[in-house]
Structure 1
Amino acid sequence: MGGSVRRRYVALGDSFTEGVGDRNPNLPNGVRGWADRVAEKLAKHEKGWEYANLAIRSKRLRQIIDEQLEPAVALKPTLVTLYAGGNDILDLGTDMDRLLEEYSGLVGRLAETGATLVLFTGYDVKVNPLLEPLRRRNWQYNARVRELAREHQAVLVDYWCFDEYNDKRMWDTDRLHMSTAGHKFLARQVLAHLGVPTTFKPRDWEPIAPRNTREWVAAQREWMNDWVVPLIGRKLRGVTLGDYLLPRWPEPVKVPRKGGLRRYALEHPEVLEGRALLG
């Protein structure tokens, strides 16, 4: 990448790439995320990096293809990251053969740009035995991602095998999205795969204190009330948290080498206008 005169990073996807779980009210959509962190480190490593992030939470693969693919190609990126399809896997009626066919087409189209392409497997979330079919879908998805990475000589970030995410502190309170610590760790992994040095260090946590039965039940009840019940309600109504959100960085911004995107947002308050601070 170092020999390229133009350095432009474009991120596509859903909440994973938008940055949900890594809250920051001073940035678009109220989040930061691993992709912002990667863009900032790229800018510190080499002058002139530009960054666009088209990802929006809750988007399904078909929406990402329809709404993000052509804008991304038009930006003529030199680096592209893609994670898409995770929300489809959680939808009970998803046809996996069709999903993987469409995902393959999306990857192929992005590979044609000539940009360095980064793909991600999905994390192997430990689910209730009743939801074991969803876990098997994730394995099927991951196998295809690995095949496509080899086929297109893409960079593969094998998120599935990161044991660090077995620690619940790497996850936000909804248990579906990474916490700030999780986003930092993933940013470090992406940069390492790209050969970019970083000073990110993993958290040195104390062991988690065991909970008694009452505390465990209280935590489960809080999670159900705060996250699961609202999620089911949205599914029944056919709405998502991303319905009225715009991409966080729809046009390439030149990332400041000092202060990063937080500095950019302070100097360009218009990027926050009309945006919901969610997540």
Structure 2
Amino acid sequence: MSKRLVTLGDSFTEGVGDDDPAAPNGVRGWADRTAEQLAAREPEFRYANLAIRGKLLSQVLAEQLEPALAMEPDLVTLYAGGNDLMRPKVDIDGLMDSYETAVGRIRATGAWLVLFTGVDGVEDALFRRIRGRVAIYNEHVRGIAARHGALLVDLWAMRQLRDRRLWAPDRLHLNALGHAEVAIAVLDVLGVEHPLTAAELGPRDLLSPAQRRSQNLQWAQEHALPWVRRRLRGESSGDTLTAKRPALAPVDSAPLPR
């Protein structure tokens, strides 16, 4: 059982979309949910979350890898590269060379490592445009995980994540339901018993063309345009933020399953 968990990455691992005013940076997320379950089974469990929203893969590795290794974790999670894939141009092969180097360094310490594929965004117009890029990224991740003996959470294969009801209003981040699904997948890959259950949402409501246009317009005004403006100014949503859990520390545990 893990005693020291360190998570690396961007908004996905920070927990953006799973709003919680009481949590550091105002978000909870799958990593916190996973840590709560691990803490329930290990009194000496400690958890650090170095992920910061908006970070590119090179920034994640440059800013988070060394501090993570210095903590001597026995379990590490790494997801990065999603923000790179959304850029107009990206060298995926070059990107994944540095990714694999980092994976090798983490595994060389003897720590368990959990990696993630990207989500299949086939049912969303925004993500569908980069679906091919994500598929190439995923094949790299699968190969790297196999070569280095890392555990893999295959988000692409989680068809429930195609349901937009598991996503936040910005359409870029999972909401609380979506983050819970990822926590379940991580715990299952780790072989940890837990009481978390998948969301039961029922049939989706059918929207009229007018309703869909109205929703798309609202999304563009509230989320897409601010994102474009930040890109044009060379800014990131995480520029003024620091890691929510920069050092290993105890975490409130969740109740054990009965």
**Residues 180-237 of structure 1 deviation map (CA, whole Å, 9 limit, x = unaligned):** 0000011011001101111111122231221122211110100111111111111001
The match for 1:251 is 247
- Structure 1 residue 104: Cα displacement: 1.1
**Residues 167-188 of structure 1 deviation map (CA, whole Å, 9 limit, x = unaligned):** 1111111111101000001101
**Which residue identity does 1:197 align to in structure 2?**
E
Q: 2:83 aligns with which of 84, 87, 94?
A: 87
**Which residue identity does 1:167 align to in structure 2?**
D
Residue aligned with 1:45, SS: coil
Q: Structure 2: how far apart are the matches of 1:217 and 1:124?
A: 23
Percent of matched pairs sharing the same residue: 45
Q: Structure 2: how far apart are the matches of 1:38 and 1:128?
A: 30
Q: 1:113 aligns with which of 109, 114, 118?
A: 109
**Which residue identity does 1:150 align to in structure 2?**
A
The match for 2:67 is 71
- Structure 1 residue 256: Cα displacement: 3.2
The match for 1:232 is 228
**Residues 237-258 of structure 1 deviation map (CA, whole Å, 9 limit, x = unaligned):** 1001000100000011112336
State TM-score, norm by structure 1: 0.87
**Which residue identity does 1:58 align to in structure 2?**
G
Residue aligned with 1:117, SS: strand
Residue aligned with 1:12, SS: strand
The match for 1:266 is none
Bigger mean CA deviation after superposition, 57-66 or 95-104: 95-104
Residues 6-25 of structure 1: pairs in structure 2 closer than 5 A: 7-25=3-21
- Structure 1 residue 137: Cα displacement: 1.4
Matched length: 254
Residue aligned with 2:40, SS: helix
- Structure 1 residue 40: Cα displacement: 0.5
Q: Does 1:151 align with 2:147?
A: yes
Bigger mean CA deviation after superposition, 64-73 or 39-48: 39-48
Bigger mean CA deviation after superposition, 103-112 or 56-65: 103-112
Residue aligned with 2:4, SS: strand
Moved over 6 A (4+): none
Q: Structure 1: how far apart are the matches of 2:198 and 2:128?
A: 31
**Which residue identity does 1:68 align to in structure 2?**
Q
State TM-score, norm by structure 2: 0.94
Q: What is the root-mean-square deviation of aligned Cα atoms in Å?
A: 1.6
Residue aligned with 1:11, SS: strand
Q: Structure 2: how far apart are the matches of 1:98 and 1:54?
A: 24
**Which residue identity does 1:109 align to in structure 2?**
R
Q: Does 1:168 align with 2:164?
A: yes
